[in-house]
Amino acid sequence: MAAKTFEKGNVAIAKAAVAAGCKYYFGYPITPQSDIPEYLSGVLPGVGGQFVQAESEIAAINMLLGAGSTGKRAMTSSSSPGISLKQEGISYMAGSEIPGLIVNIQRSGPGLGGISPSQGDYFQATRGGGHGDYRILVLAPATVQEMYDLTILAFELSDKYRMPAMVLADAMLGMMKEPLEEWIPKQAEEDKSSWALSGAKGRERRKIKSLFLGDGELAEHNWKMLEHYREVEAKETRVKIEVHDDCELAVVAFGSAARIAKSAVDRLNDEGRNIGMVRPITVWPFPYKEIRELAEKDIPFLTVELNVGQMVEDVRLSVEGRSKVSFAGYPPGYLPSPDEIYEEITKLLDKKD
Amino acid sequence: MKTVFERPQSLVDTSFHFCPGCHHGTIHRLVAEAIDEYKVRETTIAAASVGCSVFLYDYFDIDVVESPHGRAPAVATGIKRANPDKFVFVYQGDGDLAAIGTAEIIHAANRGENITVIFVNNTVYGMTGGQMAPTTMLGQRTTTSPYGRDFAQDGYPIRMTEMLAQLEGVGYAARVAVDSPAHLGKARKAIMKAFATQIENRGMGFVEVLCTCPTNWGMGPIEANKRIAAEMIPYFPLGVYKERTGSDFM
Amino acid sequence: MPRLTIHEDRCKACGLCVEFCPKDCLALSDKFNPQGYHPVELVNPDECTGCAICAKMCPDVVFKVEK
């Protein structure tokens, strides 16, 4: 087993990108993710890569689009207001089927909001975020180790499915330090030579685009994308479920909210209760099927989020009225303690009893 | 018998969708001639822009990626940084480059991105239906300046070449026109230079081409062609504004 | 004598070639091409010097010039 180091979540993402063979970074400074460009600006030139500090997040995402169109593994990172600016480019990348990694170390909004952790960008991340009918892969780490592991996975899935991937973390996960075990992926990078732009030498010219004006062309393109999304949903949904028989209630939470909720759940179980925990690791594709299966066993849910109610809508869509879904939300600028979530769960159990 | 003029090889053998007399076709042909001249067809990756020029990929026998409106210089930056051995050019109109994409062109220029930029200035938004552009002349009537562009309300037409020539990252900057055989000769030469600038790693090569949009100007092709010399050139003077020949590129 | 090949189907009858031909060799014809335009034709072949100004001015790359 490799030695562990003590790393910040942001640095874990940056290190994972290098381990995954990403040589090109394009970004713009914004708190609380600037450790990522700061780290990569030091490392990438030494591995034959390029670090470009763009004039804006808009330019950065379009640089990613350009590099991605040539099949090169590349990334950008930002935080909430900056991710809003990137939505135009993300929509174009999705429409043009260009892979690339976007990291969102969420801060709080709306507007300039603040720099405290938040999960307020859940809708933006999981509903596409920009214009048009599209989805992107969204992975939600809950530990520094997962910041590393899911960054590598995000690159792999993005390449495999030719769609942009996002690592959706927040200021808490980005700024805190935890033990990290680094590893180098064994899987060879996806062969992109069948579609990537490289100059029309010895083959027909290629065009990578999202404009389809011909009769029925765009509808056909959208149907094709949908079919692709269905495949991703079937094959790539990831969720950590800790639910035992006769579970009294299951908490659904992702990312840093899941960490806090897990402490409360563990305490209740230590006290003899039977509380389950469901932690979506991919929030798109969302584990609708897995949560529905639990709902069919009449397990009620409590969704805990660092916002005023976003993922809870997906939980309700999973459950479709089969069982009760409650919500505990914490708007930005305030982080709940495990005790508060303990109280929330206890209240629900009391009502039920 | 010797061929004096023929269709450049890099230009796909098909009809342009452009309106009669529109100079996009002429400029496409000049760019294709430069691709042929420098033998870069097989190593070229272009970033198409938004507007009438988006169909670049239907006309050039090269690899092309489509960019969002105004972002082609950023897209080209990504392509070139990840593929320094490729020849990368963008082809943008005035609405694209001089309005929504101002930040992208200025900073790509300032970083000295080793790309070639063809900037098509016809003083109007073409594909969207003839709205006022940043380059629209004072007094020019468009669908969004129905009383004529008024400086008190809309400011003055923007001169991009002069602005970009100030930046250290630009290796070559010129403004040309395609309204006469003499001007065409100079335009061809300027585009060749802008290609050479990239090939010789001397930073951004930038060529602004003054041209017509007969449809949106409400003019016939001949009348529109005459407007270039009569109205545009006096405000947008032709010439080479920057030409770095030595190794002063830092 | 120079040879001018005109790709009539591509012509949009903008007239720039007619306007700039120094020898007045070209004119728009009365017939229609498949695009619905009156394509250019060489009406004065004896005067053509093969200077290729028509080809250079043409936005639709309609001409091929040999001499």
Residue C32 has a CB neighbour count (10 Å cut-off) of 11
Residue A196 in any domain: the answer is no
Evaluate whether residue A204 is within a structural domain: no
Weakly modelled stretches of chain A, pLDDT under 70 = 1, 353
Tens digits of residue pLDDT in A185-201? 998 889 999 999 999 99
* Same-domain check for residues A215 and A255: no
What stretches in chain C show pLDDT beneath 70?
A: none
Do A220 and A249 belong to one domain? no
Q: Is residue A99 part of a domain?
A: yes
Does B109 reach chain A within 8 Å, measured CB to CB?
no
**pLDDT (0 to 100) of residue B245:** 79
Residues A93 and A216 in one domain: yes
Residues facing A27 on adjacent strands = A53
Same domain? For A168 and A309 the reply is: no
User: Which site among C4, C11, C16, C58 would you substitute to test the B interface, given the most B Cβ atoms closer than 10 Å to its Cβ?
Assistant: C16
Q: pLDDT tens, B19-77?
A: 999 999 999 999 999 999 999 999 999 999 999 999 999 999 999 999 999 999 999 99
- What is the span of the domain harbouring residue A249? 240-352
C56 touches chain B (CB under 8 A): yes
From CA C50, how far away is CA A250, in angstroms rounded?
85
Q: What percent of chain B has pLDDT over 90?
A: 96
Asked if the C-beta of C26 comes within 8 angstroms of chain B's C-beta atoms, the answer is no
**Does the pLDDT value for residue B250 go beyond 60?**
no
Is residue A202 assigned to a domain? no
For residue B13, what is the nearest residue in chain C, using CA coordinates?
A: C61
pLDDT at A352: 72
In chain B, which residue's Cα lies nearest the Cα of A23? B82
Q: How far apart are CA A52 and CA A35, in angstroms?
A: 15
**A74 interface with B at CB cutoff 8 Å:** yes
Please name the residue of chain A whose CA is at the shortest distance from the CA of residue B54: A211
Per domain, the residue ranges of chain C are 3-66
Q: What is residue A188's predicted lDDT score, i.e. its pLDDT?
A: 86
Q: Which positions in chain C touch B7 (Cβ < 8 Å)?
A: 61, 64
Identify whether A193 is part of a domain: no
| Chain-chain contact of B63 with A23 (C-beta, under 8 angstroms) | no
- Cα-based distances in Å from A184 to A159, A166, B40: 17, 20, 37
Task: Output the pLDDT for position A333.
Answer: 87
Relative to beta strand A282-284, strand A137-139 is antiparallel
Number of domains in chain B: 1
- C-chain residue closest to B178, CA distance: C57
Task: Name the domain count of chain A.
Answer: 2
Q: B16 φ, ψ to 5°?
A: -75, 150
Confidence check: pLDDT of B136 > 70: yes
**CB contact (8 A) between residue C59 and residue B26:** yes
Q: Is the confidence at residue B247, as pLDDT, over 90?
A: no
Q: Give the domain CATH number at B222.
A: 3.40.50.970
**What range does the domain containing B196 cover?**
24-243
- A200 occurs within a structural domain: no
**Structural domain contains residue B107:** yes
Residues C43 and C24: their CA atoms lie apart, in Å, by 8
Q: If pLDDT is split at 50, 70 and 90, which confidence band does B145 have?
A: very high
Q: Beta-carbon neighbour count of residue B79 at 10 Å?
A: 29
3-state helix vs strand vs coil in chain B, percent to 5: 40, 20, 40
The C-alpha of B249 sits at a distance from chain C's nearest C-alpha, in angstroms, of: 35
CATH number for the domain including A348?
3.40.50.920
Contact between chains at A209 and B66 (C-beta distance less than 8 A) = yes
pLDDT of residue A353: 66
Q: Do B1 and C66 touch (CB under 8 A)?
A: yes
Q: Do chains A and C touch (3 or more CB pairs under 8 A)?
A: no
Q: Read off the CATH number of the domain in which A96 is found.
A: 3.40.50.970
What is this model's ipTM? 0.97
Does some domain include residue B57?
Answer: yes
| pLDDT (0 to 100) of residue B246 | 67
Architecture of domain C3-66: 2-Layer Sandwich (3.30)
pLDDT tens, position by position, A96-108: 999 999 999 999 9
Q: Are residues A43 and A153 in the same domain?
A: yes
Peptide bond just before A110 cis, omega within 30 deg: yes
Q: Answer yes or no: is B1 within a domain.
A: no
The alpha carbon dihedral of B38, B39, B45, B47 has a sign of: positive
Which other chains touch chain B, taking contact as 3+ CB pairs less than 8 Å apart? Answer: A, C
Does A41 reach chain B within 8 Å, measured CB to CB? no
Judged against a pLDDT cut of 60, whether residue B221 lies above it is answered with yes
3 state SS of B90: strand
- CA-wise closest residue to A239 among A280, A277, A293: A280
